[in-house]
Amino acid sequence: MATTEDTDDYNLQELSESDYEIVDDQPEIFGWDVKDTHRNKVGEVYELLFDPDTRKVRYIVVDMESNDANLEEGRVLVPIEIADFDLDNDEVKLPGVSVTNLLALPLYERGRIINKGTDEEIRLALDKVEKDAPIPPGSIHVSKTKFYPKNEEGFIAGDDNA
């Protein structure tokens, strides 16, 4: 069996289509509003992509159909590590992420191959300077170290058959 080290492709699954569910002490964020750095509603949580081997969520799939920022409909991949969860208001906040960043993120379609190239595409999209912002280039920077830290706790999927 090929592992992530043997191939550039990740073995990610959609949580809603799997035999797993969010563990009891983690929030169910499906359908929550997603807000950009300016508090614009940019979409809703559509899906979570997770690694069944580690049982950790890697990406939030944001559906931009319902937004206040005039974004075209589509679904984009957002690394879960850059999201803040407002449990009181059932919102996912993306600090430092603007409409410019969202427009550059890769679109997600069911069955899309997610790999190291996808990670790089996302990193480049999140490094883009906000259009028309009076901020010097490089000020809004999401470093590679913010992607998938190995020692931080994140969402963990549990087997719902256990």
Question: Could you write out the DSSP letters of every residue in 122-161?
Answer: HHHHHHSPPTT-SS-TTSS---GGGSS-SSS---BEEETT
Looking at residue 126, which CATH number applies to its domain? 3.90.50.10
Query: How does pLDDT run across 44-62, given as a tens digit for each residue?
Result: 999 999 999 999 999 999 9
Residue 68: inside a domain, yes or no?
A: yes
- Please write the tens of the pLDDT for every residue from 72-97: 999 999 999 999 999 999 999 999 99
**From 24-28, 43-47, 104-108, 156-160, the region with the lowest mean pLDDT:** 156-160
Residue 30 tokens read as 């499906």
Residue 123 within any structural domain of the chain:
yes
Domain that holds residue 55: 30-131
Q: How many domains does the chain have?
A: 1
Residue 126 domain-assigned?
A: yes
Section 103-115 average pLDDT: 92
Q: Alpha-carbon distance 137 to 159, whole Å?
A: 44
Does 154 reside within a domain? no
Residue 156: the pLDDT is 57
Which residues sit opposite 75 in a β-bridge? 63
pTM: 0.76
Q: And the tokens for 17?
A: 């289509």
Mean pLDDT of the chain: 83
Q: Are 4 and 52 in contact (CB under 8 A)?
A: no
Report yes or no on 60 lying in a domain. Answer: yes
d(CA 78, CA 37): 14
Residue 61 counted as domain residue: yes
Bridge partners (DSSP) listed for residue 47:
61
Element (H, E) at 117: helix 116-127
Confidence of residue 130 (pLDDT cuts 50, 70, 90): confident
In a domain, 162, yes or no: no
Does the pLDDT of residue 106 top 50, yes or no? yes
Whether residue 103 is contained in a domain is answered as yes
- Distance between alpha carbon 64 and the CA centroid of its chain, in Å? 13
